[in-house]
């Protein structure tokens, strides 16, 4: 009610006074601040804007008194002023922004969250506080129930890997959603929660690794990594060796931090090339999505053992020979032997050199299949004229 609002006066009996001088006085809740009375006519007026949501009822008393003496001419009349509601308050949501989540791959109608708004207008008076919810942004992915504000999925099998985050705007409108009603909005940020619906996959079918023959037991040979589009525990994997000629020589462990398969040497190698068939499998498999599997993959790992060129090793660290005096020149004094660690039991007796003219000669038959190349180191020294 605005300031010009008129309130009918209380009914007073006709006052018959000696001087005909009567005035009306108003007391009680809001008298003089919210309401005033015309002292001559008894009409009551609102002197400021009334807000039902601030105060809905006022209890007042009015009486007639003699203008001159102030004496009561009649017992005071008590009455109640009730403020009628108008639709002057828009709906307000409990939060400006809501955060919610729902599992990816959910079926249509899966519950996401309920949002609620309130209206300060009088629910018992018309439709001023009767709210209807609608979705302004977020279709066709989500829907909202008009009467409850419950948000549900509207599309089946939404995939997090395609899109993870959605912003939905919900409107609450009073007057039962009719034209002319007031409205308020809120934003709901919805995240699709991951489920294990993506199998691990190796990016390559074959991997090539190499390790030096000098590598010790337990030393890493290399790493291979499969990729899983899921996140968290749904992307956890473990690696195993299924078969191959290197099962007893190499092992594979799973790095829980990087989710890589680390291949390590388990025993000393005895040949140059090994082949392993490695499998990666999800640690946590969701039985609801087994039809999207298999949740494992395989790859071939070929490992080459590279040669490390090592110097020849003498069979002894010290040789002692005895020779008789007056032994003729050119007589044999003794034999020293060495072997090449790069070739098993390969004694360095394949070649000889003439110390005078440098001619290198074979000392035995050579086998190309055993070794195509032979590296020979030749040392030339100047003989002292005082040499014995």
Chunk the chain into consecutive blocks of 10 residues (it has 388) and report each block's average pLDDT, rounded to whole numbers. 50 52 89 89 86 84 87 87 80 96 97 96 80 97 98 97 97 91 97 97 97 88 96 96 92 94 81 94 94 96 85 83 82 78 55 77 74 72 56
Which residues, 6+ apart, have CB-to-CB distance to 102 below 8 Å?
Answer: 110, 111, 112, 153, 190, 192, 193
The pLDDT score that the predictor gives to residue 347 is 45
According to the model, what pLDDT value does residue 195 have? 97
pLDDT one-digit tens code per residue, 316-361: 888 888 888 888 888 787 888 877 665 554 445 677 787 777 787 7
Q: pLDDT at position 9, please?
A: 52
What pLDDT is stored for residue 137 in this prediction?
98
Query: In this structure, are residues 320 and 335 in contact, taking their beta carbons and an 8 Å threshold?
Result: no
CATH 2.60.40.60 domain extents, the chain: 6-82, 92-193, 206-306
Does domain 92-193 fall under CATH 1.10.10.10? My reply is no
Answer whether CATH 2.60.40.60 is correct for domain 6-82.
yes
Q: What is the pTM of this model?
A: 0.64
CATH number corresponding to 206-306 = 2.60.40.60
């Amino acid at each position: 009610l605005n300031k010009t609002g008129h309130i009918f006066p209380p009914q007073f009996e006709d006052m018959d006074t000696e001087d005909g001088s009567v005035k009306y006085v108003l007391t009680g809740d809001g008298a003089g601040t919210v309401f005033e009375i015309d002292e001559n006519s008894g009409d009551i007026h609102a002197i400021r804007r009334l807000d039902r949501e601030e105060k809905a009822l006022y209890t007042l008393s009015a009486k007639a008194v003699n203008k001159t003496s102030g004496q009561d001419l009649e017992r005071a009349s008590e009455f109640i002023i009730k403020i009628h509601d108008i639709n002057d308050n828009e709906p307000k949501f409990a939060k400006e922004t809501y955060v919610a989540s729902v599992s990816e791959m959910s079926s249509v109608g899966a519950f996401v969250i309920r949002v609620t708004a309130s209206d300060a207008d009088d629910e018992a008076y018309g439709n001023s506080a009767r709210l209807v919810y609608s979705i302004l942004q977020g279709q066709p992915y989500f829907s909202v129930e008009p009467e409850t504000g419950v948000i549900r999925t509207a599309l089946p099998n939404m995939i997090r890997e395609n899109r993870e985050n959605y912003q939905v705007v919900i409107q609450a409108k009073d007057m039962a959603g009719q034209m002319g009603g007031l409205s308020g909005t809120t934003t709901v940020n919805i995240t699709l929660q991951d489920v294990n619906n993506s199998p691990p996959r190796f990016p390559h079918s074959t991997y090539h690794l190499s390790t030096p023959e000098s590598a010790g037991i337990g030393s890493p040979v290399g790493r291979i990594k499969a990729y899983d589009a899921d996140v968290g525990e749904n992307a956890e994997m473990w690696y195993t060796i299924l078969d191959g000629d290197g099962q007893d020589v190499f092992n594979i462990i799973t790095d829980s931090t990087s989710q890589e398969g680390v291949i390590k040497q388990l025993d000393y190698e005895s040949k140059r090339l090994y082949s392993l068939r490695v499998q990666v499998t999800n640690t946590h498999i969701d039985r609801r999505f087994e039809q999207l599997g298999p949740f494992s993959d395989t790859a071939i790992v070929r490992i080459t053992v590279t040669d490390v060129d090592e110097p020849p090793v003498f069979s002894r660290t010290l040789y002692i020979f005895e020779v008789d005096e007056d032994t003729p020149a050119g007589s044999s004094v003794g034999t020293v032997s060495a072997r090449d660690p790069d070739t098993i039991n390969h004694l360095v007796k394949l070649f000889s050199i003439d110390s005078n003219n440098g001619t290198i000669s074979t000392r035995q038959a050579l086998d190309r299949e055993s070794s195509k190349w032979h590296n020979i180191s030749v040392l030339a020294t100047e003989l002292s004229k005082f040499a014995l």
